[in-house]
């Protein structure tokens, strides 16, 4: 069997080979120009600054203004990338939005939805619709994340995250209390009520008839200081802590936002460090969100190589 040999003594073959060479040289030396993103028009920058002013009540600093502009250009970059991928042609939400726009412009007479959609694209309505822009940015971000999907966290990573954030997961003390309530008009009665309770060794339930009505109720179980403050206010929680509560004892009177309280401490669960299994779902969610955010950030950074972004 004779070996296969490519003969280069044919003029037409020389022409093809040289054409391929010249084509690749041209691509290497004269690449297609990149799509230009930015710079932002002065009116858009003014709008961004006004939005900042409305939100924070002050003008942005120079650094804040620069970041605000960079963030807006990044949105434009993602929007343009979505357009280049033609994601707007395959999205039901965008399809419906552009058809609604055509009806709003009274341009729907005698046309079906497919014709309206194409006409909207021809009129470039999708380029100025903020809902379309937000939708496309969301879709292209999802696509970038799918292309660079981070691996699921290992148990070792979650344990490390737990160790690094252990203080954040410290569980606060919890108290179970009952109380008697005295309005401002009845505050002068409190000393006699306390004396009656102590003399007759009344518990909170048997002494309840001596209390004024309290909207949130009379018994509170395994409440954190923050939860108690929702019912009584911060002053009550502070005075309760200063009184060094002990389970099975009365405390008070203690003042709240509403009046005075005589408090029975039913039980106390001291503050403690959380166990890993108690907070593992939250740690997993937080860790996955963090690595996804970093993966998306890396993908967007790589995307800048394909476009020319001008500040």
Q: What is the pTM of this model?
A: 0.68
Q: CA–CA distance from 152 to each of 149, 156, 158, 166 (Å)?
A: 9, 12, 10, 21
- Residue 185 pLDDT > 90, yes or no? no
Please spell the DSSP secondary structure of 290-303, one letter per residue: HHHHHHHHHHHHHH
Tell me the mean pLDDT in the region 232-260: 91
Place 181 in a pLDDT band, splitting at 50, 70 and 90. very high
Q: What percent of the chain has pLDDT over 90?
A: 67
Per-residue burial over 234-268, b if 16 or more Cβ lie within 10 Å, else e, is eebbebbeeeebeeeebbbbbbbebbbbbbbbbee
Per-residue burial over 11-46, b if 16 or more Cβ lie within 10 Å, else e, is eeeeeeeeeeeeeeeeeeeeeeeeeebbebeeeeee
Q: What is the pLDDT of residue 166?
A: 87
Tell me the mean pLDDT in the region 279-306: 94
Q: What is the pLDDT of residue 20?
A: 59
Place 204 in a pLDDT band, splitting at 50, 70 and 90. confident
Q: What is the pLDDT of residue 26?
A: 55
Q: Is 84 helix (H, G, I), strand (E, B) or coil?
A: helix
pLDDT in tens, 107-132: 989 899 999 999 999 999 999 999 99
Task: Write phi, then psi, for 209 (nearest 5 degrees).
Answer: -65, -15
pLDDT in tens, 4-39: 455 555 565 556 655 655 555 555 555 678 999 989
Q: What is the pLDDT of residue 167?
A: 87
Q: What is the pLDDT of residue 188?
A: 84
Neighbouring residues of 116: CB distance < 8 A, sequence distance ≥ 6 = 98, 99, 102, 103, 107, 108
Q: What is the pLDDT of residue 252?
A: 85
Q: What percent of the chain has pLDDT over 70?
A: 90
- What whole-number distance in Å separates Cα of residue 172 and Cα of residue 166? 13
- Residue 46 pLDDT > 60, yes or no? yes
Q: What is the pLDDT of residue 10?
A: 58
Beta bridge partners of 277: none
Number of residues that this document lists for the chain? 311
Place 74 in a pLDDT band, splitting at 50, 70 and 90. very high
Please state, as a whole number, how many other Cβ atoms lie within 10 Å of the Cβ of residue 132. Answer: 23
Return the residue matching tokens 């963090």.
Answer: 290
């Amino acid at each position: 069997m004779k070996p296969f040999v490519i003969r280069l003594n044919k003029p037409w073959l020389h022409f093809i080979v040289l054409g391929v060479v010249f084509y690749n040289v041209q691509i290497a030396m004269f690449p297609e120009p990149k799509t230009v993103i930015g710079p932002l028009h002065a009116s858009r920058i003014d709008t961004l600054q006004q939005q900042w002013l409305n939100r924070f009540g002050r003008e942005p600093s120079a650094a804040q203004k620069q970041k605000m502009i960079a963030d807006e250009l990044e949105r434009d970059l993602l929007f343009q990338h979505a357009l280049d991928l033609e994601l707007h042609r395959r999205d039901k939400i965008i399809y419906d939005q552009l058809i609604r726009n055509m009806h709003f412009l009274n341009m729907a007479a005698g046309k079906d939805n497919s014709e309206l959609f194409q006409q909207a694209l021809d009129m470039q309505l999708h380029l100025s619709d903020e809902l379309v822009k937000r939708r496309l940015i969301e879709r292209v971000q999802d696509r970038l994340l799918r292309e660079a999907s981070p691996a699921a966290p290992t148990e070792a990573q979650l344990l490390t995250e737990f160790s690094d954030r252990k203080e954040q997961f410290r569980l606060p003390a919890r108290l179970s209390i009952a109380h008697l309530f005295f309005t401002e008009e009845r505050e002068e009665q409190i000393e006699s009520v306390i004396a009656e309770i102590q003399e007759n060794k009344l518990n909170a339930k048997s002494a309840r008839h001596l209390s004024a009505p309290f909207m949130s109720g009379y018994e509170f179980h395994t409440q954190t200081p923050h939860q108690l403050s929702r019912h009584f206010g911060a002053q009550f929680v502070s005075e309760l802590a200063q009184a060094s509560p002990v389970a099975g004892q009365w405390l008070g009177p203690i003042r709240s936002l509403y009046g005075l309280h005589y408090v029975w401490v039913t039980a106390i669960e001291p503050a403690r460090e959380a166990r890993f299994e108690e907070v593992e779902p939250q740690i997993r969610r937080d860790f996955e969100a963090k690595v996804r955010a970093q993966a998306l950030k890396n993908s967007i950074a790589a995307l800048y190589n394909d476009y020319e972004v001008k500040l």
